[in-house]
């Protein structure tokens, strides 16, 4: 069930009405209804994988209790590693098995050796990377005595399976979400309206921005060998806006939906394309994943303590693992490696935490230096996105080679065809203006004119939605 589909448009109001109608009766009933709705939402993708989700939930619930009740550290450690190995084992089989097999076969073929290993014809369960990380953080926190295990199976299951975040995050923590699940919730009109506005902005990002850019980005990447340099640059820029509109749009809809239900989720995006360096970008892009790797991998490895060598090692590990988390393809690993290289100069000069606050806070415009830094950071990010978007490493390198062939003959080809490409450029510029002036908030609907702008956005979503098919969000594949 897609957030941008008619079925979700029917599903959400129904859940909203039933959910709040039992609010005064029982918190347990309210949570149970949310859990059933979440399982139904997930089963709409493929009901068979619902059993995998339930098994993963039961595994971490049970091992959490066993760790807490363990009589000695050895016993506690056994249950901890049992959960970690099984969780990562499922993730490895479904997501990475074929990648390792094919990579190993290619390596052997380079030495003139032939192999014929089995590959598995498996469908990647939607959201497995996200709900697996929910469970892992819960188990790790119990093991490190940060939290006590949740004894109510319904409440814990809802923490893992809460439908707004189930298939593409944000990656929640038990310390943040579970207390809200266990606390009685009262309907808040202002919070619900704020959630509605955030859902609307998320739909705008997805349908008007991401899906429109996708039409051009897909064509350009699919025909990269015949495109001139100008068109290839434009294709990379279109994909930058596509993936941002797509993923941050999903996150906005998830956060807005949760607000309708009286629950606050972790913010996942904070205007990353206004970042002044790559370190700031990663504090603003997919925040829940970046902070997860920081807390559960980077810091346990030693973080920034010690000399230069451990810092560099830990940084490269984090970015390479982040790239591998996104997909079983060398393109994602190179994308992660590129970002580590971008980050390295900031780390070595201790400037990785220079830009903490929002750019030009309280001002209408940035300084020339800030503007130049934003453009430079966006350019670096867009260059790295070429690897992220390409199907193979070879395609990415040829794409880049053709850009640097400096063939601008004929101008930008995709602006000269009758496919509303000029209008899309105007919409992207307008989108940036809206984002800029709302960068200190979560969405641009504020002040006296918010309802007027909301009406304009609703009309645009309807018009663009009519002329485009509801497409899956990019991060569903991760």
The catalytic residues are 326
Rounded CA gap, 23 and 29, in Å? 8
Taking each helix axis from N to C terminus, what angle separates 229-260 and 211-222, rounded to the nearest 10 degrees?
150
Query: CA-CA distances (angstroms) from residue 123 to 40, 119, 357?
Result: 19, 12, 42
Rounded CA gap, 103 and 302, in Å? 31
Question: For tokens 């393809």, what's the residue?
Answer: 329
Contact partners, residue 1, CB within 8 Å, separation at least 6: 7, 8, 11, 41, 44, 45
Q: Fill in the DSSP letter of residue 360.
A: T
Rounded CA gap, 167 and 159, in Å? 13
Q: Confirm if 321 and 336 have CB atoms less than 8 A apart.
A: yes
Rounded CA gap, 74 and 151, in Å? 23
Give me the torsion for CA of 114, 118, 119, 121, rounded to 10°.
140
Q: For residue 382, which of 269, 278, 250 has the smallest C-alpha distance?
A: 278
Rounded CA gap, 466 and 309, in Å? 54
| DSSP-assigned states of every residue in 8-67 | HHHHHHHHHHHHHHTTTT-HHHHHHHHHHHHHHHHHTT-GGGHHHHHHHHHHHHHHHHHH
Nearest-Å Rg of the Cα atoms of the chain is 23
Q: Confirm if 385 and 246 have CB atoms less than 8 A apart.
A: no
């Amino acid at each position: 069930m897609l957030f941008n589909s008619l079925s979700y448009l029917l599903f959400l109001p129904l859940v909203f009405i039933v959910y709040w109608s039992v609010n005064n009766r029982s918190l347990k009933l309210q949570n149970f209804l949310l859990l059933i709705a979440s399982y139904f939402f997930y089963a709409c993708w493929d009901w068979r994988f619902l059993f995998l989700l339930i098994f993963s939930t039961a595994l971490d619930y049970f091992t959490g209790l066993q760790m807490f009740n363990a009589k000695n550290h050895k016993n506690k450690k056994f249950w901890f590693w049992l959960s970690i190995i099984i969780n990562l084992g499922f993730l490895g089989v479904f997501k990475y098995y074929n990648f390792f097999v094919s990579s190993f076969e290619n390596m052997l073929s380079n030495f003139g050796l032939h192999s014929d290993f089995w590959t598995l014809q498996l469908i990647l369960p939607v959201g497995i990377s996200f709900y697996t990380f929910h469970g892992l953080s819960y188990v790790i926190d119990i093991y490190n005595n940060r939290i006590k295990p949740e004894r109510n199976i319904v409440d814990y299951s809802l923490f893992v399976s809460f439908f707004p975040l189930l298939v593409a995050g944000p990656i929640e923590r038990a310390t943040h979400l579970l207390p809200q699940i266990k606390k009685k919730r009262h309907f808040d009109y202002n919070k619900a309206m704020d959630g509605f506005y955030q859902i609307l902005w998320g739909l705008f990002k997805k349908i008007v921005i991401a899906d429109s850019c996708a039409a051009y980005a897909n064509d350009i990447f699919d025909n990269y060998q015949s495109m001139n340099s100008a068109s290839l640059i434009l294709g990379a820029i279109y994909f930058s806006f596509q993936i941002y509109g797509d993923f941050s749009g999903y996150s906005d809809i998830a956060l807005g939906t949760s607000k309708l239900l009286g629950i606050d989720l972790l913010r996942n995006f904070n205007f990353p394309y206004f970042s002044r360096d790559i370190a700031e970008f990663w504090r603003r892009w997919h925040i829940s994943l970046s902070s997860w790797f920081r807390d559960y991998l980077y810091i346990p490895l030693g973080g920034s303590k010690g000399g230069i060598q451990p810092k560099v090692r830990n940084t490269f590990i984090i970015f390479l693992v982040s790239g591998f988390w996104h997909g079983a393809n060398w393109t994602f690993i190179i994308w992660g490696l590129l970002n580590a290289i971008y980050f390295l100069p900031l780390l070595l000069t201790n400037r990785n935490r220079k830009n903490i606050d929002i750019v030009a806070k309280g001002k209408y415009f940035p300084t020339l230096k800030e503007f130049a830094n934003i453009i430079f950071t966006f350019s670096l990010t867009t260059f790295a996105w070429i690897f992220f978007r390409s199907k193979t490493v070879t395609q990415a390198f040829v794409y880049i080679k053709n850009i640097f062939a400096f063939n601008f003959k004929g101008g930008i080809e995709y602006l000269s065809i009758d496919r509303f490409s000029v209008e899309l450029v105007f919409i992207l510029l307008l989108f940036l203006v809206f984002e800029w002036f709302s960068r200190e908030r979560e969405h641009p609907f504020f002040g006296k004119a918010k309802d007027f702008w909301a009406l304009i956005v609703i009309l645009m979503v309807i018009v663009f939605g009519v002329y485009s098919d509801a497409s899956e969000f990019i991060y569903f594949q991760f």
